[in-house]
Amino acid sequence: MSVTRNDSKPRLSFAAIVNMSVGFFGIQFGWDLQRANMGRIYENLGANPDQVPLLFLAAPLTGLLVQPIIGYLSDRTWHPRWGRRRPYFMIGAIISSIALIVMPHSSALWMAAGLLWVLDVFGNVSMEPFRAFVTDKLPDSQVNRGFIMQSFMIGLGGSIASALPWLMRNVFHFSNTAAQGTIPENVKWSFYLGAFFFIGAVLYTVFTSKEYPPEVLAGGDAPGKQNEKENGFAEIIDALRKMPPKMRAISIVQFFTWPGLFLMWFYYTTAVAINVFGGKDGNDPVYAAGADFGSLTLAYYSVVTFLFALVLPSIADKLGRKATHALCLIAGAIGLISVAWVKNKYMLYGCMTGVGIAWASILSMPYAMLSGVLPRNKVGVYMGIFNFFIVLPEIIASLGFGWLMRNVLHNDRLLAVQVGGGLMILAAVICLVLVKEKRDA
């Protein structure tokens, strides 16, 4: 398989695109386990609702630094056997899997928060190069398909991960209640299985996918020879300053999209347990049943995500990428806002259908819209910078939303989820107004 220096890469088979995307199944398994369960774990360990955002703070603060650094390093890495991006996939997966195993044995809030920090840092070490991996491996005509396949794997992994606590309780009969200061057995076993799937899926991609040498992809520049007079920090700052205009616009869309998701992950499961089911705390079987059901509906939105990912390319071909993304964001916003009017627990599946549609687009369309505007020898750096606009709103939410919860929302978890929906509508409007494209193909 030859590759010319003008970036005319050969089209890959469907099987090859699947193989290079399977690792994302495992990475997302880890993300969704923490997203669906960390709020519950924190409250089981004694946290108040207004403390939950602050307990998520260490991870995004570190991610703000980790993402561009890992991108910079992976741009300049090359090993004859392990390649350019795959060493980072593997290192991140090993350490993240260890953190998943230890997490449910947390005996104090500081321990759980510290392990979440480790999990988030090394989850990012695995995940960030995967975005660049698509651009490295695929010709422009297949980039959409590559990111959509990642969305499919993310939806599949997320659906199983989010459903695990419910499955462990209702199929394998592990207890879903626990005394204050301990973690329920069904959550513990979910994390153990998550560690297995995380490392197994990433290793599958590592051993079934090859990479093109970076000097070929960069048009003859070997790794480590670009911008020799600049250190890594200077190169990251320079790339941030020279960010393409289209990337700036899409970054603003990201900045207002992700707080809606964070607020859902912070509060949705416990909101279902308390506001929909009428439970009190982790010792209450009604609360436990509600939290498990909330996790199950999160699993359902991931099912919607991987099914919708199958038709998303066709929709984007007809409507264009930015219109498609804006409509999907509106669907997600409607889903989040409508949770407040749920009277029957099964109505939550309707709410999560909208969220699943939005999630499929969030995972693919922004990256597809970036296709073709990033310098080939700095794709990793720019993908890391792009993720600034995911972690920055998480930092802001972690620092400021505790005060809003306590003083404005009066610790109403359901209202916090609705605020997230409102932010998603704002992101959709910004997408339509600011993102300029000829005709999305």
pLDDT score, position 4:
40
- Measured distance CA(286)–CA(271) in Å, rounded: 13
Burial class (CB in 10 A: 0-12, 13-18, 19+), 229: exposed
How many Cβ atoms from other residues are within 10 Å of residue 231's Cβ?
10
pLDDT score, position 440:
43
Which architecture characterizes domain 16-220+230-434 according to CATH? Up-down Bundle (1.20)
Domain ranges in the chain are: 16-220+230-434
Q: Read off the amino acid at residue 128.
A: E
144 and 361 Cβ atoms separated by less than 8 Å: no
221 and 215 Cβ atoms separated by less than 8 Å: yes
Query: What does each of the 441 residues of the chain score in pLDDT, given as a tens digit?
Result: 444 434 567 888 989 999 999 998 999 888 888 877 887 788 888 888 777 777 777 667 777 778 788 888 888 888 888 888 899 999 999 999 999 999 988 888 889 888 888 888 898 888 878 878 887 888 877 877 788 888 788 878 888 888 888 889 888 989 888 777 888 898 899 999 999 999 999 999 999 998 887 666 655 444 444 444 456 677 778 888 888 889 999 999 999 998 888 888 878 888 898 888 988 776 788 888 888 888 888 888 888 987 898 888 889 888 988 999 999 999 999 999 999 898 889 999 999 999 999 998 998 889 888 876 877 777 778 887 888 888 888 788 777 777 888 888 888 888 989 999 999 999 999 999 998 876 544
pLDDT score, position 225:
47
Longest Cα separation, the chain: 63
Q: Residue 286: which residues within 8 A CB-CB, separation 6 or more? A: 273, 277, 278, 279, 280
CA nearest to 89, candidates 149, 36, 162, 21: 21
pLDDT score, position 221:
44
pLDDT score, position 58:
66
pTM equals 0.72
- Measured distance CA(209)–CA(21) in Å, rounded: 9
pLDDT score, position 2:
41
pLDDT score, position 232:
66
Q: Read off the amino acid at residue 263.
A: L
